[in-house]
Chain A
């Protein structure tokens, strides 16, 4: 079936603007993750959903960042009052229910490259 998809693939915005990044997980995957990757670094965890609820949001850097997954499928990462330091590739991943055979295997989307001018 289809993999994880993310839209838009690129987003350029101005400092202070609001942006929304969308993630469509693999059908049937109940867990969804957001990561952020800066140039030359590995991905850094932001938030993880199990179903509709955020199971772990310890990676969100501050209250300008918020994510939702209202129906337990598609998720939107929302960034308010963007800053130049928010520029990065935002990656989404999904996985089957933790605890089953493929526990921990996360399947990543292509990412959204956010540039804040």
Chain B
């Protein structure tokens, strides 16, 4: 079963706008990660946030984590057409193995 749930399932915006995707999960985590996937093939790691961190930045990406609400958000600022992809959150549960548990993803479309 998949514990991460992304919201929304699909998002369509214009180039230059910001895109926000949310992720909720159910268990205690070691860390939470965001991945990007183009055309249903290889996943690219974007950012990892540990359970004791609240916010991380990487270029145009900003990730927040609220462990009390068991939720995370990914913000992509000044979006580009090349950002069009599916975005997944994945968790590593606390005390569990190193396996990633993924959500179903958000399909982002950035229109030029």
- Using CB atoms and an 8 Å cutoff, list the residues of chain A in contact with chain B: 31, 33, 35, 37, 39-45, 48, 55-56, 58-59, 89, 91, 93, 95, 98, 103-111
Contacts and interface: CB of A to CB of B under 8 A. Distances in A.
B41 A111 contact: yes
Interface in B84-109: 88, 90, 92, 97-105
Interface of B: 2, 4, 30-31, 33, 35, 40-45, 48, 88, 90, 92, 97-105
B99 to A, nearest CB: 4
B45 A106 contact: yes
Nearest to B4: A42
Nearest to B105: A42
B98 A55 contact: yes
A41 to B, nearest CB: 6
A104 B31 contact: yes
A21 B51 CA distance: 35
B2 A44 contact: yes
Contacts of A35: 100, 102
Contact of B48 (A33, A39, A45, A105): A105
Contact of A98 (B48, B98, B102): B98
Question: Which residue, B45, B100, B103, has most C-beta atoms of chain A within 10 A?
Answer: B100
Contact of A42 (B2, B48, B97): B2
Given A42-B4, A42-B88, A105 B45 contact: yes
A93 B88 CA distance: 15
B104 A43 contact: no
